[in-house]
Amino acid sequence: MNLADEVLEYKKHVANLEVDNQLVHIKTLENIQITVELRSNGYYVLSSTADLEQQGFDDLNQLLCSVSQSYRDSFTNELFSKLSKLSEEN
């Protein structure tokens, strides 16, 4: 799986997400701009318009949850919806 495929699932929860080689450029729904680089040990923030307490993250979900309440809400709502559908099917 390449980087573009890996981050595709996050695109619907942010305003913009673009992949350029090993870099991911993200604009959150709150208008926070973040550029991260994929490294062997996870994602490393190269630049951000938000104050981040840490620079390295295991995955984009961890990063986005740390800076964007709108991302957390959108991701949680989607997860809840999927779990509710599964529950209704059983």
User: Using CA atoms in the order 7, 46, 70, 85, what is the torsion angle rounded to 10 degrees?
Assistant: 20
Average pLDDT over residues 17-42: 95
Average pLDDT over every residue of 75-89: 87
Evaluate if residue 15 carries a pLDDT over 80.
Answer: yes
69 torsion bin: left (phi>0), alpha (psi -120 to 50), beta (else): alpha
Task: Give the domains, in start order, of the chain with CATH numbers.
Answer: 3-89 (3.30.2280.10)
pLDDT of residue 85 exceeding 90, the answer is no
AA identity, residue 24? V
Residues near 6 by beta carbon (within 8 Å), at least 6 away in sequence: none
